[in-house]
Structure 1
C-alpha cells in the first residue's frame, strides 16, 4: 500500500477478501474504477474507493453480481495468461486442432468429429442466404445460419449433454458455411473458413480458432448461460450468445480497429496524438490483461514475416508508447485487424474467425450450466423511480 492511499489489484483483492479475478469483474462492471494503469504493476486503485465498498452505502446490501458468482472449470484468465482446463493456449497452438480444443473445452470426445450437412440442408441454407437483403452484415448471416441449423435438426429441443454438444458442432459448421466465400467441403472448421480468408495461411486460421475458442465469462458467454438456465434449447442459447456478441465493443471490435489501424500504421505519431487527446485507442486496453494479451502476441508472431517492416515498426512503437503512457495493452483485436490488413481480407475477416471459434466456448459453458439449478440468474432491481 502506498503512502498516498493507493492499492494494487492484488492488494485490493486481499483487502476485500476476494480473488483477483473478482476485482477484474468489479472493474468491468463499473463497481470499482482504477485511478490509472501501471505497465509494471497493473491497475492502481484509491484506498478510499475500496473502503467505500466495505463501509459505504453498498455495505450490507446484496453483493453486486460478478463473474465470481459463476463457478467454472473451463477457462482461466489472468493478467497475461489464458488457459483452457489448465492448458496454456500458447502450448495448444500448433499442437492441437480446433476440433481437439473444442473437445477439451466441452469434455465430449466426439466433438473432434465434423458435422456434414445433408444436400437438403445445404440447399435450405443457400436459399435463405440468397434472399437476405443486399448489404446484410456478417453477424446477421451467421444468425440466420444457426436458425437453419436449428430448423433442420429433429433433436433441436433435446437438452441432454450429448445433444447440446452436437448442436454446438452443427451451429459452428452452418455458420462457417454462411461466411461469404467460404468453402463447402472440408473436414474441419479451419478448412471451411480458409477459402473465405485466403490468402491468410491455413495455420494462422487454425491458430486464430484455437486462441478465440473461449474467454471465461464474457458478456456473450453469460448470455448463453442465462438462456440455458431459463430452459432454452441449445440453438436458441447460441443465438443469445451471437446477439450479445454483435457489438463493436465485443466480437466486431476488430472491424472498428481495422479502420483506425490502417491510417495509424502509416502515420503513427498522428495516431498517438489523437489517442492521447481522445484518451482512447481502438484495440488497446483490456480490463483483465494488464501485462499482455497472449492471444494477440501469438497471432502477431505467426504473421510477423508477412507484415511489412514499416508497418511492423509502427505497430511496435505505438504499442510501447500506449503501454508507457496509458498502460493500455495491445489486444487480440489489433492482431486480427493487422491480419486483415496484411492479407487484404474483407473488414469482417477477424469477426468471422472470432464468431465461429467462440461457438466452442459457448457450447462448453452451456453444458456446464446444465448441471446448475434452473432460473438461477435473477438480478434484483433497486427501484429508483417515483413513489
Structure 2
C-alpha cells in the first residue's frame, strides 16, 4: 500500500513537472486567456474545476497552461472567435506580471543601475553576444548611405538602413546558428547607434552602446542611459517581438528578422509613443490641474494605461527614481500628482513612455531620444527571442482566416 501511495505521489510530481515545462499562468493571465473575470477563475478553483499547481511569492497561484487550455477546449472560456493556436508561445526569456518585470528570473529592479546593457543582453540571449566593432570601411559605408538621406529623415528610418548595412557587410549574414544571431544582434545595435547624426565611437569607456549613444544624446549621463537601456531591453511578446519570431520561423536571416521588428515597432502605438507623451508632458508639468481636468473629462492621455500592468509599470517607476536627483522638484511633484489622481480615479497606470518623456525634458535631449533609446535597447530582446525561436518548428505561425466576403452563388 505504501509503495502504491509512493507511486501515485511520484506520478503526481512528474505531472506537476510536466505542467511547469509546458508553461504556467498567473490568475490574471488565466482570466485573460479564457476571456473571463478574475472572480470567475476563483470560482473555478473553489468548485475544483481548476487546481493551482503551486504558489509563488509575490505572484500567488500558478496554473498549468495545459489545464487552462483544457478548459478552453471544454467550452468554459469566454473567448469567442479568438486568435489561432499560435498565440500560445512558451518562452523562458521574460516574465511580465501585474506589476513586475523579470529577465530569466532576474527582477529588473536588481539589474538596472547595477548591470551594464551588454551584461543584460548576454543574460537575455543566453550566450555571449559580442561582435567586432564596425571597422572603418563599414562605418564609411554607413556614413555614405545616411549622408544621402534627406535632412528630415527620422531615426527609425536611419535605424532600418543601418541594419541593412550591417547585414550586407556581414559575409556570414545567412548563418542561422544561435551564435550568429547573437552576434548579428550586437552588430546591428552598434550600427544603429552609429547611424545617428554626429554619433561616433566614444573615445573613453569602450565601444558600448550607451557610450556611443551619449555622443548623439549630449548631456545624458552614461550610467543613467545604460540603466534606461536595461529597463527597455525586452518586454515579452510585444507586437514587434512577435514579428521577429514570425520572421525567424519563416527562415529569415538574423538581420531580416531584426528589420521585421523595427518595422512593427515604428508606430505611435508602440515604440514612438513617447513622442506623444512628450507633447502632453510639457503642458502637464506647467499646469497639472488642467491636465487632470482634461483627462477626466476627455480621452486618456498618452503614456497612461497598459495592456499588462494593472498596478504599476516597474520600468517607469524605476526610471523615475533614477531621474529624481536630476529633476526639478516642482515638476516631479506635478507629475506625481497627476499620476496619483489618474490611477485612483480611472485606474490608469503611468507607463514607461511618460518616464522616457521626462528623461528627455530633464536632460534637454533631442526630441527623438525616447525612440532612440527604446529601439536600441529592444535589439537585445529581439535577439533573445530570435535565438529561442530557432528551437521551434519552422513556419508554425499560421493564422487561420475565416472568410467573410462575398461568395459565388
2:57 matched residue in structure 1: none
The match for 1:143 among 157, 160, 165 is 160
Separation in structure 1 between the aligned mates of residue 135 and residue 213 of structure 2, nearest angstrom: 19
> Which of 325, 337, 348 is matched with 2:345 structurally?
325
Measured after TM superposition, the shift of residue 32 of structure 1 is: 7.2
1:332–1:386 distance in 2 versus 1, CA, 3 Å: same
**1:258 and 2:274 aligned:** no
Matched, 1:79 2:91: no
Cα distance change, pair 379–264 in 1 and its aligned pair in 2 (3 A): same
Q: Is the 8 A contact 1:214 1:360 kept in 2?
A: yes
TM-score normalised by the chain length of structure 1: 0.85
Q: Residue 127 in 1 paired to residue 151 in 2?
A: no
Q: Is the CA contact (8 Å cut-off) linking 1:22 and 1:66 kept in structure 2?
A: no
Distance between the aligned counterparts of 1:182 and 1:118, measured in 2?
15
Report the secondary structure of 1:215's partner residue.
Answer: coil
Q: 1:179 matched to which residue of 2? A: 196
Partner residue in 1 for 2:134: 117
CA shift for structure 1 position 25: 5.8
Alpha-carbon offset, residue 114 of structure 1: 5.1
Distance 1:33 1:250, change over 3 A: farther
Residue in structure 1 matched with residue 187 of structure 2 by the alignment? 170
Partner of 1:341: 361
The equivalent of 2:126 in structure 1 is 107
- Residue deviations 1:271-296 (CA, integer Å, cap 9, x gap): 11111222311101111111111111
Larger Rg: 2
Deviation per CA, 1:221-241: give whole Å up to 9, x if none: 000000000001010000000
Stretches of structure 1 that go unaligned for 5 or more consecutive residues are: 1-16, 35-49
2:241/2:385 contact within 8 Å kept: yes
Report the Cα distance in structure 1 between the residues aligned to 2:300 and 2:235, rounded to whole angstroms.
23
Evaluate the alpha carbon distance shift between residue 33 and residue 24 of structure 1 in structure 2; reply closer, same or farther with a 3 A threshold.
closer
Partner Cα distance (1:233, 1:165) in 2: 12
1:240-285 alpha-carbon deviations (Å, 9 max, x no partner): 0000000111111111110111111101111111112223111011
**Partner secondary structure for residue 298 of structure 1:** helix
Name the SS of the counterpart of 1:76 in structure 2.
Answer: strand
| 8 Å Cα contact 1:93/1:210 also seen in 2 | yes
Relative contact order, higher structure (CA 8 A, sep 6+): 1
Distance 1:78 1:58, change over 3 A: closer
Out of 280, 284, 309, the position equivalent to 2:329 is 309
Match of 2:263 in 1: 243
* 1:323 counterpart SS class: helix
1:68, distance to aligned residue in structure 2 (A): 5.7
Local SS of the residue matching 2:395 = coil
Q: Residues 333 and 380 from structure 1, CA distance in 2 versus in 1: closer, same or farther, beyond 3 angstroms?
A: same
Aligned residues of 1:204 and 1:302 also touching (Cα < 8 A): yes
Pair 1:188 & 2:208 matched: yes
Match of 1:152 in 2: 169
Other-structure match for 1:291: 311
Shift of 1:64: 2.4
Which residue number corresponds to residue 384 of structure 1? 404
- Candidates 91, 98, 104, aligned match of 2:117: 98
Deviates more, 1:328-337 or 1:178-187: 178-187
**C-alpha contact 1:25 1:66 (8 A) present in aligned 2:** no
5 Å-filtered alignment, 1:345-356, equals 345-356=365-376
- Would the aligned equivalents of 2:281 and 2:357 in 1 still touch at CA under 8 Å? yes
After TM superposition, give the deviation of residue 309 of structure 1 in Å. Answer: 1.7
Q: CA 1:200–1:32 in structure 2 vs 1: closer, same or farther (change >3 Å)?
A: farther
